[in-house]
Amino acid sequence: MERIIGRYRSLTILVAVLFAQVLGLAVQVKRPADPAHPDGPSTRLIRLWVASAFTPVEKLFVGSSRWTRETWRDYIDLHNVRQENRDLRQQLEEMRIQQARVQQDAEQARRLQALLGFKEQFIQQTVAAQVIGSSGSELSRVLTLDKGSRDGVHNDMAVITPDGVVGKIVRVFPGSSQVLEITDQSSGVGALLEKSRLQGIVKGTPEGDPMLDYIMVDESVGAGERVLTSGGDRIFPKGLPIGSVTRVEKGHDLFHAIYLKPAADLSRLEEVLIITKVEERTPATDQADTPHRAADILAQRLPSVPSKSADPAAEKPGAPGDKKPPAPTPPPDKPQGVRQ
Amino acid sequence: MRVTLTYTSREEIEVHRFSVWVTLGVPLLALFLQAFLPARWHFFSLFDLPLLVTIYFGMTRRSPVSGLVTGSLIGLVQDSLTHQPLGLYGIAKTLIGFAASSLGVKLDVDSPLTRLLLPAAFYIVHQAIYFLVARGLVRQTLDWPWLYTLGAALANGILAVVLFAILDRFKQRT
């Protein structure tokens, strides 16, 4: 026996190493799924080591490149800045007029919602984060963010940009976290079509595009129609843009295969928002302290968009003060599911 | 009469070794770049630098044990950057490390054509092993993107020619 093992030493070691890894896989797959701790203690430790080794270097690279870019943009490359300023002022005036009109419609809608006892989801608190790395693999579309459990980030928190949904947090380390993009084949987001209000699930294709599934073939779906989060997955607040329909094909069984173009440009992400607190409540008819809706709040929350707040600490991205102040009145009854 | 065919000259089966800094630094740098660059330039996820490094060390050291251990360690670190269970890349790269070092003894691994075709072929085999393990052992519902895999194999083959020429500078003859 020893002779055979000695003769086929390389093969024996290969079989042993493969066996150990298959065993490790079996243990990970068999382990009861705990949403808070998807890994076992041992696998978690290896991931923690790798994250601890890579994250500081990634942060250093991202930080220094950002500093260089901002220094160039803010102090050197000021070509045409006056003209741009004039254009923006004019645009601001136009937007103010438009906002007044839209606000009236929104207030009316909220009054009607309140009368119907309609519950809505509000983004209560967010943390701004920078994308510092990725899995580097098309087979696993994961991004690494520079915020972790020290910043109040937990598993299953939604990650968004002003343009739309990015993904959800799947793993958290003290100083970093991993986001599973909506284009990953194992991801799933509760979604609905904006016009028809038909509900389905958005998941990733092998090519890395999002696809809306579980819409019956007898339903009519047109290219260009927007797809929003339905809120049914209890992760993403309702009404956030996921993408728009690019083409509709015959899918499996009785369902369409609806291919989407993501609303957020997932291939060029630098800054994102992690939704750390979402609240459900009925909109108040009194508009004096109107809460912000999930979809309304996005454009104002990225660090690249300067805040008009008088408190300079509140303007710092990802700072502890980076929270939405309104103190909500808890709903009188138990929170219910989102009504369609 | 038995005729033995060989494609390997005496010089070609020379075994090379590397300093500790290169042995540790190159795989770590490859893993870091693989995690960092696609986040900035998405097209870079087409390449698999850790795989190319595994193939290179396997082919030049020509030691199957060293090749499979290198592949296994690089694969496990790469696994920990994904959300998949640990071992998918580990198993695939273990086999590729073993195969590359076994083939390294039989082929002229310094030829540019070998350096183009072998990594391209290994890339396809690597993806096939990954999918087999993911679908067979982990029960994941992954689909195989054929066209993408073929394109990526070619891209990795081309990159391998350049990368291997750079890494040749760190070789030390035993």
**What is the interface size between A and B, counted as CB pairs within 8 Å?**
146
- For A214: left if phi > 0, alpha if psi spans -120 to 50, otherwise beta; the answer is left
pLDDT attached to residue A41: 53
Chain A residue numbers with beta carbons less than 8 Å from the beta carbon of B94 are 14, 17-18, 21
Least confident of A73-82, A118-127, A148-157, A175-184: A118-127
Dihedral (C-alpha) A52, A57, A59, A65: value to the nearest 10 degrees?
-170
What pairs with residue A250 in β-bridges? A256
Chain B residue numbers with beta carbons less than 8 Å from the beta carbon of A18 are 91, 94-95
- Closest-CA residue of chain A to B69: A17
Query: How do residues B73-115 score in pLDDT, each as one tens digit?
Result: 999 999 999 988 899 999 999 999 999 999 988 888 888 999 9
- Tokens 């369902």 map to which residue? A255
ipTM of the complex: 0.83
pLDDT attached to residue A251: 76
- Closest-CA residue of chain B to A43: B86
Check A29 against B85: CB less than 8 A apart: yes
Check B69 against A17: CB less than 8 A apart: yes
Could you tell me the end-to-end alpha-carbon distance of chain A, in angstroms, rounded to an integer?
Answer: 69
pLDDT attached to residue A34: 53
Most confident of A31-45, A227-241, B24-38: B24-38
Query: How do residues A100-110 score in pLDDT, each as one tens digit?
Result: 889 888 888 87
Enumerate long-range contacts of A314-321, CB under 8 Å, 24 or more apart. Answer: A317/A128, A317/A271, A318/A127, A318/A128, A318/A129, A318/A147, A318/A151
pLDDT attached to residue A37: 56
pLDDT attached to residue A331: 41
Mean pLDDT of all residues in B125-142? 88
pLDDT attached to residue A121: 66
Say whether residue A83 is in contact with chain B using an 8 A CB cutoff.
Answer: no
Residue pair A331/A280 in contact (Cβ under 8 Å)? The answer is yes
Check B139 against A29: CB less than 8 A apart: yes
Chain A residue numbers with beta carbons less than 8 Å from the beta carbon of B152 are 138
Check A43 against B82: CB less than 8 A apart: no
- Banded pLDDT at A305 (limits 50, 70, 90): very low
Distance in Å, alpha carbon of A177 to nearest chain B alpha carbon: 11
Say whether residue A124 is in contact with chain B using an 8 A CB cutoff.
Answer: no
Choose between B138 and A145: higher pLDDT.
A145
Residue pair A228/A241 in contact (Cβ under 8 Å)? The answer is yes
- Tokens 């459900």 map to which residue? A280
Q: Indicate the pTM of the whole model.
A: 0.76
Q: Which residues contact B152 (CB under 8 A, 6 or more apart)?
A: A138, B46, B47, B48, B123
Chain A interface test: which of B53, B62, B84 (most A C-beta within 10 Å): B84
Chain A residue numbers with beta carbons less than 8 Å from the beta carbon of B64 are 10, 14
Check B85 against A13: CB less than 8 A apart: no
Query: How do residues A214-230 score in pLDDT, each as one tens digit?
Result: 998 888 888 899 999 99
- Tokens 């870091």 map to which residue? B32
pLDDT attached to residue A113: 75
Choose between B60 and A117: higher pLDDT.
B60
Least confident of A86-95, A326-335, B61-70: A326-335
Q: What is the DSSP letter of B12?
A: T
